[in-house]
């Protein structure tokens, strides 16, 4: 079973191919559908687009930009997207646990019939 991380990298690679104009027809539509499927995918695609804009601007200013700089930018974009997803998960857990605590302590107003 593929890990979530490998699925995210595969998605990121597909978004990259889409942004580079390497996908056509059904493949391009599939990536568009995936980008809109979840908030996490939208954020990851948005991060990728921002990274491409940054790298494009950097490439125009310094055409001899080393591969290490490009790899660093890619890692930063991926880490940023991962941290945003972790934040979203933690917020959801906090809300669920708070709701359970309120229910357990009986702090919700009871329904009157």
pLDDT digits (tens, 9 = 90+) for 31-70: 888 888 888 778 777 777 777 777 777 666 666 656 666 6
Poorest-confidence range of 30-39, 70-79, 98-107? 70-79
Which residues, including other chains, have CB under 8 Å from residue 34's CB and lie 6 or more apart?
11, 14, 41
Higher pLDDT, 55 or 24: 24
**pLDDT score at 67:** 67
Nearest to 43 by CA among 2, 89, 104: 89
> Mean pLDDT score of the chain, rounded to an integer?
77
């Amino acid at each position: 079973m593929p890990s979530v991380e490998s699925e995210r990298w595969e998605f990121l690679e597909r978004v990259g191919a889409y942004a580079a104009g390497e996908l056509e027809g059904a493949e391009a539509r599939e990536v568009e559908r995936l980008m809109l499927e979840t908030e996490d995918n939208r954020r990851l695609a948005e991060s990728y687009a921002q990274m491409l804009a940054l790298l494009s601007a950097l490439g125009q200013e310094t055409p001899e930009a080393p591969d290490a700089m490009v790899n660093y930018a890619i890692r930063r974009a991926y880490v940023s997207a991962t941290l945003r997803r972790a934040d979203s998960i933690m917020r959801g857990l906090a809300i669920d646990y708070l709701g359970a605590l309120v229910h357990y302590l009986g702090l919700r107003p009871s329904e009157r019939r």
